[in-house]
Chain A
């Protein structure tokens, strides 16, 4: 089935640094979603990408939909303590039905003040 490989699995950075994480797949996705999960909470949608090549920003976050439709990246600029959490990429699974989402393994971000 469709799988998403997310990297890195964890990151330890200093406050103020930029962060970059990516997600790749062996199959094509027509939509990429990036979520953040805070400890003890459900995932919250950060950015949705619908078009190959699309670059979308949400504050200090920028995400791009790869031109091959098999990858996406998420960048966070000038990280702050509240950026700590787990970031997941996700995409709709068309094998099983349009609304089912396939998730990456997550990138756990830790920030040292």
Chain B
């Protein structure tokens, strides 16, 4: 199984500040994905992070609020900017398929639990 790590695992932040979440995967992948899971809800895709190009955002999410970096094939960051209490969620990264397999097995990081006060 894949090894995917996220930092920080949790944080409590004040309104108006920003937090950058890091995701490291153990094998090179073209695509990495960022999700938000609000309390008691399912997972919502924020954006797809492609190495070497701009991230692709889903409806309702914008780059100014959730800037993403993808400097290489094993690492990505998501920043939650100008936070408000409504941003309190678990943020998860997911690894896309590796080049060596056609499998759809998809692995998630452990998540970052963000609380905004």
Contacts and interface: CB of A to CB of B under 8 A. Distances in A.
Contacts of A61: none
Interface residues of A, number: 22
B105 A103 contact: no
A56 interface: no
Interface residues of B, number: 25
B42 A88 contact: yes
B97 A99 contact: yes
Interface in A33-47: 33, 35, 40-45
Contacts of B48: 97, 99-100
Given A40-B113, A100-B45, A45 B103 contact: no
A92 interface: yes
Interface in B78-106: 90, 92, 94, 96-97, 103-106
Contacts of B6: 42
B42 A33 contact: no
B33 interface: yes
Contacts of B111: 40-42
Interface of B: 1, 4, 6, 31, 33, 41-43, 45, 48, 90, 92, 94, 96-97, 103-111, 113
Given A42-B4, A44-B108, A48-B105, 10 more contacts: A31-B104, A33-B106, A42-B6, A42-B109, A99-B33, A99-B97, A100-B48, A101-B33, A103-B42, A104-B42
